[in-house]
Structure 1
Amino acid sequence: MKIVQAFINKNKKWFYATEKVLLNNPLVLVFGERELLEESDTIDNIRAEFPYEHIVFGSSAGEIFGTTIIENSITVVAVEFEKTSFVVKTANILDYNKNTEEAAAFLSSQMPQEGLKHLLIISEGSFISGSNLIRGLQKNVNTAIPITGGLCGDGSKFEKTIVSYKENPKEGEIALIGLYGESLEVSFSTYCSFIPFGPNRIITKSEGNTVYEIDGQPALDLYKKYLGEKADEPQFTLLYPLHTIVPGKSEGVVRTILSVDNDKNAMIFADEMIQGSKVQLMMVSQDAIIEGADRAAKIAMDNRKDKPQLVFVVSCIGRKLIMAQRVEEEVEQVAEIVGKGVALAGFYSYGEISPSSKEQLCELHNETMALTLISE
């Protein structure tokens, strides 16, 4: 495996973390600030610098470039596989009247199944249902095939996200990357550092991703009453997500509040919130986030045969906002665990996709760090 990493800033100057060499038919992943990716001259510049066919673009809420977190830039990681093959398929949920599950089912039906080892997903993240995305993908893919990746971001603007393969980035797009090869080793993990606190409660009225009542009380009123002055903090919705266990499941997931509806005393979450789900408030510290990154890396490294060559990192925008000036410490912790000479690349997201463990099916997560370790 040969890897080239570079980034370009607003001044259109390229910086390389590796030797600049020409690769043979690589998979190229490009992540960057959404408004920059909408500029045609930026895209032309990327294509001129990386004159390859298989380029996947995705907007982000921050770019991960080694152990450096970059903003208002474009990062590129180009991977030439020596023994592994890959296939990229796309679908656009706007072609399906925003029916995520239907679009995802079609997408997975197009992916060749023979020899499939792993799936990487890079999806639009502004109006998609991550849970329905996973359900759709799993309709036509063996559930033993792990799926990892994330929902793209738009910084802290939350206006729109864009994704594409070969074409210029656009809204509504989902890119699915299939990895094939006997020599390919992929391990993964996800870890949330947030800790539940307070009593367990029940969602008593919800519709889609909007929660109207918890324990029979207006959801937002209850939230503000319980948090007190903390509910007036900037971006409190990202600081205090809900641990959610849907009916019929024993394991819970974290769900972030994207916004509130003061008129209806309701809260809008990053994914569907099923009525009857058990919920509990959560909180976190900066040190806990760093410890969580350490834990995620150790889980992903456990029982690997070979040292990884590439670590694909998807971390939540909420973690980034909480870490503030210490944000690089979580990726530094990952780098320390996986060892020297391993490339780290990825983005801050609006949702992380990964199995919770090697034994479980894929889930949509919020407020987590999801790692995919690849070698051949």
Structure 2
Amino acid sequence: MKTVQLVKHKNQDWTYVGENIVLHNPLVLVFGNRLLLENPSIYKEIKTLFPDGHIVFGSACAEISSRTVNENSITITAMEFEKSQFVIKTSNVLHTDLDSFKTGNDLIKQFSAKGLKYVFVVSEGSFINGSQLTKGMSASNKDNLLITGGLCGDDTRFEKTLASYNENPKEGELVAIGFYGETLEVSFSIHGGWTPFGPERTVTKSDGNILYELDGQPALDLYKNYLGDKAKDLPGAALLYPMNVKSDDEEQSIVRSILNINEEEHAVVLAGDIKENSKVQLMMTNVDNIANASERAAKQALVHRKNKPEIAFLVSCIGRKLVLDQRVEEEVEEVIEVLGEGATVSGFYSYGEIAPFHGEIACQLHNQTMTITLISE
């Protein structure tokens, strides 16, 4: 596998991360700040760099490269596969009656199942129900297919997200990349590093990903009481205090971030579903815990691998980025150190991470995790 990486900051030229080599028929992942991806000539510009490239765009809260975390920029990772093949499928939900489960189900069904080893998903992140999306993708999965990826981001603006394949980035788009190959080896892991605190409450009223009541009280009012002075910074402030959710039909608890608030109904809008009668606790963390969790994820993803990874897809969460602040590169540095030389790192900070729990098959929507997928040919 051959790879090339480039970074472009606002009002600057493209700079190479490492050497500049010619690639043939490459997969080109372009993650970047939403405002920069709205440049009407962005696809044409990147097509000039990679004339025979298959170009996938996704807006991000920050981009991850083999060197560092890039912000207010665009990062390109181009990959030429020597023994494997990839196929790209898309779906758009902007002008449809959104059924997130059906969207996920139909997207995975577009792929020929024969020889399909892995699917990487870059999904719109503004209004899709990530829980239903991942359930739909898993429902199509009959052969233990690994699916990972993430929901696109828009920093703390929460205005809109963009994605596309071989055209200018646009709203409502989902892109899935299917990988085929006899010798393709794929492994993954996720870790969070967040700790529950405070009283455990019961979800007494919810609808899909909207949480109305906890212990019979308006959810937004309770949340504001916890945040105190920080409540004025909602919904952004909520990313520092996600929820640990336990439900009777799930073996493991899952983390849910608040992406928006509904003042009129005193409700909070989560990145994924929250079922009535679930138990909920707030969570907190610090820089060291987040960095340590990323290190553990990298080590776990390497366990039982036969070959050294050549590419690493990293999807982390905007909430982790906010906690890390000026030290945001530390969790990525931990991963790079564990993986060692030879692995190209590509990824982004998202509104939700897509992966199974470690040791499981069905992909789920996670929040506040570092998701690592390692690939070799």
TM-score for both structures, normalised by structure 1: 0.96
When residues 91 and 221 of structure 1 are mapped into structure 2, their CA distance, relative to the original with a 3 A threshold, is: same
- Residues 107-158 of structure 1 show CA distances to partners (whole Å, capped at 9, x for unaligned) of 2111010011111111010000111111222232225111101000112211
Q: Mean Cα displacement is larger for which, 43-52 or 280-289?
A: 43-52
- Equivalent residue number for residue 123 of structure 1: 123
Letter matched to residue 310 of structure 2: Q
- Equivalent residue number for residue 187 of structure 1: 187
1:269 aligns with 2:242: no
- Equivalent residue number for residue 198 of structure 2: 198
Structure 2: runs of 5 or more not aligned: none
Residues 118 and 146, structure 1, Cα contact 8 Å, conserved in 2? yes
- Residues 79-124 of structure 1 show CA distances to partners (whole Å, capped at 9, x for unaligned) of 1111111111111123532222222222211101001111111101
Letter matched to residue 355 of structure 1: P
- Equivalent residue number for residue 255 of structure 1: 256
Letter matched to residue 338 of structure 1: L
- Equivalent residue number for residue 285 of structure 1: 286
In structure 1, distance between residues paired with 2:155 and 2:230:
23
Percent of pairs with identical residues = 52
In structure 2, distance between residues paired with 1:255 and 1:266:
14
Residues 17 and 67, structure 2, Cα contact 8 Å, conserved in 1? no
The alignment's C-alpha RMSD in Å is 1.6
In structure 2, distance between residues paired with 1:320 and 1:287:
13
Letter matched to residue 372 of structure 1: T
When residues 198 and 332 of structure 1 are mapped into structure 2, their CA distance, relative to the original with a 3 A threshold, is: same
In structure 2, distance between residues paired with 1:338 and 1:211:
39
Letter matched to residue 210 of structure 2: T
1:139-154 map, 5 Å:
139-142=139-142, 144-154=144-154
In structure 1, distance between residues paired with 2:182 and 2:87:
15
Q: Secondary structure at the match of 1:304?
A: coil
- Residues 229-274 of structure 1 show CA distances to partners (whole Å, capped at 9, x for unaligned) of 5656773301111111233112111000123333432222112222
Shift of 1:213: 0.7
- Equivalent residue number for residue 112 of structure 1: 112
When residues 52 and 246 of structure 1 are mapped into structure 2, their CA distance, relative to the original with a 3 A threshold, is: farther
In structure 2, distance between residues paired with 1:329 and 1:33:
20
In structure 1, distance between residues paired with 2:69 and 2:164:
23
In structure 2, distance between residues paired with 1:23 and 1:33:
25
In structure 1, distance between residues paired with 2:14 and 2:327:
25
Shift of 1:18: 2.6
Residues 65 and 345, structure 1, Cα contact 8 Å, conserved in 2? yes
Shift of 1:358: 2.6
- Residues 350-376 of structure 1 show CA distances to partners (whole Å, capped at 9, x for unaligned) of 000011113342110001110111111
Q: Secondary structure at the match of 1:290?
A: helix
In structure 1, distance between residues paired with 2:198 and 2:238:
17
1:56-135 map, 5 Å:
56-135=56-135
When residues 198 and 3 of structure 1 are mapped into structure 2, their CA distance, relative to the original with a 3 A threshold, is: same
Residues 190 and 296, structure 1, Cα contact 8 Å, conserved in 2? yes
- Equivalent residue number for residue 244 of structure 2: 243
- Residues 262-293 of structure 1 show CA distances to partners (whole Å, capped at 9, x for unaligned) of 34322221122222222111111111111111
Residues 67 and 328, structure 1, Cα contact 8 Å, conserved in 2? no
- Equivalent residue number for residue 354 of structure 2: 353
- Equivalent residue number for residue 158 of structure 1: 158
Shift of 1:348: 0.5
In structure 2, distance between residues paired with 1:179 and 1:89:
11
TM-score for both structures, normalised by structure 2: 0.95
- Equivalent residue number for residue 317 of structure 1: 318
- Equivalent residue number for residue 338 of structure 1: 339
- Equivalent residue number for residue 306 of structure 1: 307
Residues 309 and 342, structure 2, Cα contact 8 Å, conserved in 1? no
Residues 150 and 352, structure 1, Cα contact 8 Å, conserved in 2? yes
Shift of 1:221: 2.5
Letter matched to residue 272 of structure 1: D
In structure 1, distance between residues paired with 2:30 and 2:119:
17
Structure 1: runs of 5 or more not aligned: none
- Equivalent residue number for residue 32 of structure 1: 32
Q: How many residues align?
A: 376
In structure 2, distance between residues paired with 1:221 and 1:10:
40
In structure 2, distance between residues paired with 1:355 and 1:84:
23
- Residues 132-189 of structure 1 show CA distances to partners (whole Å, capped at 9, x for unaligned) of 1112222322251111010001122110011111121111111111111121111111
